[in-house]
Amino acid sequence: MKRLRQVLVSAAAVGTVLSGLAQAQAQAPAGNGLSARAQEVAKGTRPDQIAFRALYKEMVETDTSITTGSCTLLADEIEAHLREAGYGDAQITRYAVPDHPKEGGLVVVLPGSSKTLKPILLLGHLDVVVAKRSDWTRDPYTLIEEGGYFYGRGTSDMKAMDATWVDLMMRWKKAGYTPKRTVKLAMTCGEETSWAFNGANWLAQNRRDLIDAEFALNEGGGGRTDGHGHVIQQSLHVGEKFAVNFQMVATNPGGHSSIPVRDNAIYEVAEAALKIKDYEFPLMLTDTTKAYFGKLGAARSDAMGAAMRNIASAPIGSPESKAAEAVLNTDRSFHSMLRTTCVVTLVDGGHANNALPQHAGANINCRVFPGVSVESVQDKLKEIIADPKMTLTVEKLRGPVAKAPPLTPQILGPVEKQMAVYFPGVPLVPTMSTGATDGIFLEAVGIPSYGPPGGFGDPDGGGVHGLNERRSSASVYVGRDFLQDLVKDYASH
């Protein structure tokens, strides 16, 4: 109950800060959502930006996927840069576990001058989702700049932010800059896979002291364009849905395929999958998502905008809320922000093409809404499947159930300041992400984790986790300056 109350307070804080933003709006609306300064930064021609581009290129071109790559190798490269910048054994900690030698990482610490202020933690996962050369238009592990975009696996998720963090730690050290607060950087592996070694969880459980901080900055936030390079919104990530997998399995006596019967393990799984396809979990809202839709809706004049405003204000279950939900459900991101979702992602079955299947199964990937228990989702799936012969089990949980971090003026104020510098007139909204980040592992040990805005992506998702991943060069350079100025602000207060 305590946590809920906190969120209510922050919603009010959001209100005051966002009205402050309204004033900023009037001041300097810009063409593509970028201020004149940001448009200059977007060119990427400054010497420090050219050096940064080389680091980004090195990181993207180091394959860190679980099948063909190595996070440990990239951590070696980063360590070399940090030592060159002046960090020594006392500030650099390497870690890996024997049975996962390629999934190691590092923590580097830049001590601050204050004896009382707690540190800030910057978090970045080095691993990327697997990419097959044969599926891509270009080589996924060569950084290619074309048409205002960087192409390559990890250009968006999340090596632009990784490079921004490493570059910041290097430049501050080289410049002899000592912030008030100690700044720590944890580079980890395993965020993209739920069955390998997760560095963020390992650090949280085994080296809590090393990463101790008042709060952490991580992926999850960022802006959205209209698909034509115009930034229409920026988001601050506060909290997330919780990812969990269930396995359903059907078994059957089988037999010779020349004498088939209707009772068939693969059909059983297929029928259950279609029931899951057709089930819609009920609409849910948090104060963060209410603020999200309320604010975004206020900035739009179309039917979607009206629906956003209504979903934020109308009581759940009312005709206005139902009508608004129907409109919002046409957008896949908004649809998944409003509820728990479950989808069948993997199937297997059968053992020979001339035999009736004796075993069939499927993986159901669910994204559980904050405050909803895993058990209640499992019970609901059983009810939907309605097949007593089908077994349904839950995988080993990836970690603790997500808790929404508090949204305070201390966090929001500096973000708003940078928004006015780089994106005047662009709405800033607190978001609850539907994906999962390693932030949950930090929150589980008492380190609130936020995804700051700064960079931005296209509405089609920019190939993240998919084919031909890309990030606009404007987003990379402006995102870097925004984030580094933001960290400087946090670290000096």
What are the residues binding Zn ion (CB under 5 A)? 157-158, 219
Residue 297 has a CB neighbour count (10 Å cut-off) of: 24
- Helix, strand, or coil (residue 150): strand
| CA 219/CA 273 separation, integer angstroms | 32
- Of 21 and 158, nearer to Zn ion (C-beta) is 158
Cα dihedral sign, 433-42-477-160? positive
- Of 59 and 344, nearer to Zn ion (C-beta) is 59
Helices (H), 103-174: 159-174
| Beta carbon of residue 136, minimum distance to Zn ion (angstroms, whole number) | 19
| CA 243/CA 256 separation, integer angstroms | 40
- Of 158 and 338, nearer to Zn ion (C-beta) is 158
| Beta carbon of residue 163, minimum distance to Zn ion (angstroms, whole number) | 14
- Of 125 and 173, nearer to Zn ion (C-beta) is 125
Residues 292, 298, 299, 303, Cα dihedral to 10°: 100
- Of 72 and 437, nearer to Zn ion (C-beta) is 437
| Beta carbon of residue 473, minimum distance to Zn ion (angstroms, whole number) | 20
| CA 101/CA 46 separation, integer angstroms | 38
Q: Are 254 and 355 in contact (CB under 8 A)?
A: yes
Burial (CB count within 10 angstroms: exposed 0-12, middle 13-18, buried 19+), residue 110: buried
- Of 71 and 110, nearer to Zn ion (C-beta) is 71
- Of 268 and 469, nearer to Zn ion (C-beta) is 469
Beta strands in 166-260 (DSSP E): 183-188, 215-217, 222-225, 231-240, 242-251, 255-256
| CA nearest to 220, candidates 445, 474, 442, 467 | 442
Close Cβ partners of 424 (under 8 Å, ≥ 6 residues apart): 24, 25, 27, 28, 29, 30, 35
| Beta carbon of residue 399, minimum distance to Zn ion (angstroms, whole number) | 15
Close Cβ partners of 438 (under 8 Å, ≥ 6 residues apart): 123, 125, 188, 191, 198, 200, 201, 218, 449
Residues 97, 102, 103, 108, Cα dihedral to 10°: 90
| Beta carbon of residue 154, minimum distance to Zn ion (angstroms, whole number) | 9
| Beta carbon of residue 175, minimum distance to Zn ion (angstroms, whole number) | 29
| Beta carbon of residue 461, minimum distance to Zn ion (angstroms, whole number) | 12
- Of 126 and 158, nearer to Zn ion (C-beta) is 158
| CA 307/CA 302 separation, integer angstroms | 9
Cα dihedral sign, 344-349-354-358? negative
| Beta carbon of residue 219, minimum distance to Zn ion (angstroms, whole number) | 5
| Beta carbon of residue 464, minimum distance to Zn ion (angstroms, whole number) | 8
Q: Are 199 and 105 in contact (CB under 8 A)?
A: yes
- Of 157 and 443, nearer to Zn ion (C-beta) is 157
- Of 157 and 458, nearer to Zn ion (C-beta) is 157
Residue nearest to Zn ion as judged by C-beta position: 157
| Beta carbon of residue 158, minimum distance to Zn ion (angstroms, whole number) | 4
Sheet holding 149-151, edge to edge: 144-146, 149-151, 470-472
